[in-house]
Structure 1
């Protein structure tokens, strides 16, 4: 009898289990990119870019003449109803289980419906908070249609690789739906990736990171440009930042996932040229916040190592320590000036804190209620901010001595 009691649950498990709800691979349509635009009235336009699993795989031979993806746009009250409506058009069952990229138009991101539509979509268990959020200057449907990368057959791989470049350049932020929802309060400002396929002609600039998406002087290649960031406050887009300003935001945060990137600065000994540096953030930014009744003071210290990569002026920085000090002070003054300018822009125009300094300010209070009563959103615009950069020059390239220019080189 004891053995029978032990076997009975196992027998019931086998009897009750089954595969009644299973779906084969070819029966599902995996949405890898989701675009959302503002539609007529209170409707939205949802664009589903559905990947063809056979293209780019070992089964390519059987799908030789098939496109890598299919795109469909549906008008509906929200994303989930658009998904259900699209199932009446697509022969396979639409799934968000492989969705990693959501593209929203700038017009929709600035509308009052944005937060409601995005929040309601999270009720679908297939919608994950790790989905990357990109704001396109044009309509999301146009952005998806125009994106025809030459080197990547599968669209999800293209966006995965492009979004990883923020780690190398710092020109765009790390933006996911999870970060968006955690920064909906008045205390924080959320930054999303800013992108476009349109071109806004801009004169070439010496500072290679002072562009926004669409302004990069590009010829040929993929039409998509990811540069700068979209500013969200209380869940709604209110403005944009350039790639340079985005870099400063990431540097001034306590922890920065993008800790190394290349930048150029004017050569103090010959301003016709720029020196190229690799800037490496070593350790966390030191943020000291002092809260007083008469005002709030914030002191920020950023530790950086500099690797000198290119010296077009041929100035001998490698062996002349005095010139090294002049170069270091020049870079310090430029970093302090530009970062201070960005902080003032956040205080006066945005009136929000994208640097997450509110997390350091919370340690000054004994409870969450007292911090909320302090009202950081109103105190930050009036705060006195001081920023210092602790720089260390650690290398000067593979060759110690730069070449000596020959006579006549300056006139060429």
Structure 2
């Protein structure tokens, strides 16, 4: 038999405990949320912005969702709201969207060209503060307008608007034709001295949307919106937008991005074609991740930047039919390709550092050890000093194999 005071204490606990437990007054049911998966921000007249929301409709796979094969977040038509800020657009959205707008499933932030060239810092600041915006959300630039790109975006395979942007980010690390720039990387570059970023570039393909005939030019375009093709998604993602600070100052095409990934040391896999001397003779290469590039920066007058880039490659195409499989042929091919890589990598690095005054690699991290304090490094006029810099890039290309067939095909019908 328990003492009387213990029985009183137990009874009191049973009575008080239900009142002390957390209630569900602030619950957020799935059926009450409007999940924004893509956010577009464009410049509008009189200092306003157009915010485009692509909203996903949650579908219960068990119930069939009305279509049987829909994704858990099937895309809905986008809505565009004009406001002073993204936060105000969210407030105004509550007047026409019957659910609470949330960014917890946001998979892409897309800035329009005109706004990106003027500066996006004032629009990124609230995203950093607002906890619904995860810092891992990718950031990109639309060469035309974010509204048009979002409206015409029609993926070929994925019906989930959230999943398709995740797949594009994965593809960026494999193909190398576009970069990956997340919100926290942009914020880090803004806070660190002498550091910039390059963001993915989107544009509407003129051949698909206007059904224009493909040109008869021999040059192939790697520009977003200019890739000659028919059918498929009306929107291209190809190349990158170069930021100096919070402003876009240049655009790189898909080939430039592959070369930039080599300089960054972030190339896991990629393919590139080079001409081996003839007008129609192409060498196709598959690039593999090797050791990181080695930068040596001498803060002399002028500044000297030397870069050693190891490249590991497989030959997947020799249009000329030449046989490079011998030791002498392999060395000749490696020397030819090294020369081409050196010229193009040097030109690209000069374009970024000198012409654009943007350090997106960044090369400046290799000079930190030459300063006694962070304040000295911060005060060093890096952008001004590299204007007269001597830039030399040397690649060391190693051909691992020539595919499953070493020697080229020989015709017996000639």
Cα pair 2:354 2:386 within 8 Å, conserved: no
Are positions 1:30 and 2:30 aligned together?
no
CA offset digits 1:289-335 (Å, max 9, x no partner): 2223x3322211111111111222222222x2211111111100100
1:266 corresponds to 2:275: yes
Q: Distance in 1 between matches of 2:240 and 2:216?
A: 20
> If the length of structure 2 is used for normalisation, what is the TM-score?
0.89
Contact 1:353 1:380 in 2 (8 A): no
**Alpha-carbon contact 2:258-2:270 (below 8 Å) kept:** no
Change (3 A) 1:88 1:189: same
Residue number in structure 1 paired with 2:177: 171
Aligned length, in residue pairs:
399
RMSD value, Cα: 2.7
Q: 2:359 maps to what in 1?
A: 353
Distance in 2 separating the partners of 1:13 and 1:275: 74
> Is residue 2:288 matched to residue 1:277?
no
- 3-state DSSP class of the match of 1:322? helix
Instruction: Give the match for residue 92 of structure 2.
Output: 85
Alignment correspondent of 1:122: 128
Which residues of structure 2 form unaligned runs of 5+?
A: none
**8 A contact 1:48–1:73 mirrored in 2:** yes
Q: Is the 8 A contact 1:204 1:217 kept in 2?
A: no
C-alpha distance in 2 between matches for 1:72 and 1:161:
24
Deviation at 1:54, TM superposition (A): 0.9
Show the 5 A alignment for 1:209-358.
211-253=222-264, 255-256=265-266, 258-268=267-277, 270-292=278-300, 294-318=301-325, 320-358=326-364
**Alpha-carbon separation, structure 1, partners of 2:97 and 2:251:** 37
**Gaps (5+ residues) in structure 1?**
none
Shift of the 20–358 alpha-carbon distance from structure 1 to 2, 3 Å rule, reads same
Cα distance change on mapping 1:321 and 1:117 into 2, 3 Å: same
Does the CA contact (< 8 Å) of 1:284 and 1:302 recur in 2? yes
State the alpha-carbon separation in 2 of the partners of residues 326 and 10 from structure 1. Answer: 88
- Does structure 1 retain, via aligned residues, the 8 Å contact 2:350–2:391? no
For 1:161-187, what per-residue CA distance to the aligned partner results, in whole angstroms no more than 9, with x for missing partners? 123211121111111111111112561
Q: 1:10/1:160 Cα in 2 relative to 1: closer, same or farther (>3 Å)?
A: farther
Whether 2:113 is the aligned partner of 1:97: answer: no
> Is residue 190–residue 231 contact of structure 1 (8 Å, CA) maintained in 2?
yes
Cα distance between partner residues in 1 of 2:360 and 2:6: 65
Label 1:404 to 1:85 Cα distance change in 2 as closer, same or farther (>3 A): same
Q: Distance in 2 between the 1:195 and 1:364 partners? A: 39
